[in-house]
Amino acid sequence: MKEKRFLPDGWAVYVGLALLLLLGIGAFVFRQDFSFWEKRYLAEPPKNYSPVEWTLNDDLETYLSDQLPFRRVFVALDAQAQALTGRAVQLGAWPTGDAIVEKPVETDADTLLRRVAALRGFAGDTPCRFLTPPTAGMLKMGEMTAARRAVYELEAETYDAVVRQEGFIPLREAFESSAEPVYYRTDHHWNFEGAYLAYRAYCEAAGLEPLEKDDFEITDCGAFLGTTYTRSGLPFAKADTLICAEPKTPVTARFDGEAYDHLIFPEEAETYDGYAVYLKGNHGLLTVENPAGERGTLFLCKDSYANSLIPFLSAHYRRIVAVDARYYNGTFADALAEAGDAEEILFLYSMDSLANDTAVTRKLRAR
Binding site for another protein (CB under 8 A): 8-14, 16-18, 20-21, 23-24, 27, 51, 54, 56-57, 60-61, 64-65, 68, 71, 74-75, 77-79, 81, 85-90, 104, 147-148, 150-151, 153-154, 233
User: Measured from the CB atom, is 67 or 308 closer to another protein?
Assistant: 67
User: Measured from the CB atom, is 161 or 205 closer to another protein?
Assistant: 161
User: Do 290 and 312 form a contact (C-beta atoms < 8 A)?
Assistant: no
Alpha carbon distance 135, 82 (integer Å) = 23
Alpha carbon distance 352, 141 (integer Å) = 18
User: Measured from the CB atom, is 65 or 126 closer to another protein?
Assistant: 65
User: Do 190 and 308 form a contact (C-beta atoms < 8 A)?
Assistant: yes
User: Measured from the CB atom, is 104 or 194 closer to another protein?
Assistant: 104
The two beta strands, 344-348 and 295-302, are: parallel
CB of 138 to another protein, least distance (A): 14
Nearest in space to 306 (alpha carbons), one of 269, 333, 279, 331: 279
User: Measured from the CB atom, is 81 or 117 closer to another protein?
Assistant: 81
H or E element in which residue 255 lies: strand 252-255
Alpha carbon distance 296, 139 (integer Å) = 35
CB of 189 to another protein, least distance (A): 24
* Region class of 235: left (phi > 0), else alpha (psi between -120 and 50), else beta: alpha
CB of 273 to another protein, least distance (A): 22
CB of 156 to another protein, least distance (A): 12
Q: What are phi and psi of 324, to 5 degrees?
A: -115, 110
DSSP letters spanning 185-198: SSSSSB-HHHHHHH
User: Measured from the CB atom, is 152 or 196 closer to another protein?
Assistant: 152
CB of 274 to another protein, least distance (A): 23
Q: What are phi and psi of 258, to 5 degrees?
A: -120, 155
User: Do 311 and 332 form a contact (C-beta atoms < 8 A)?
Assistant: no
H or E element in which residue 348 lies: strand 344-348
CB of 38 to another protein, least distance (A): 11
User: Measured from the CB atom, is 55 or 126 closer to another protein?
Assistant: 55
CB of 154 to another protein, least distance (A): 6
User: Measured from the CB atom, is 153 or 273 closer to another protein?
Assistant: 153
CB of 28 to another protein, least distance (A): 10
CB of 55 to another protein, least distance (A): 10
Alpha carbon distance 234, 229 (integer Å) = 7
User: Measured from the CB atom, is 59 or 334 closer to another protein?
Assistant: 59
Alpha carbon distance 297, 346 (integer Å) = 11
Nearest in space to 273 (alpha carbons), one of 189, 180, 360, 359: 189
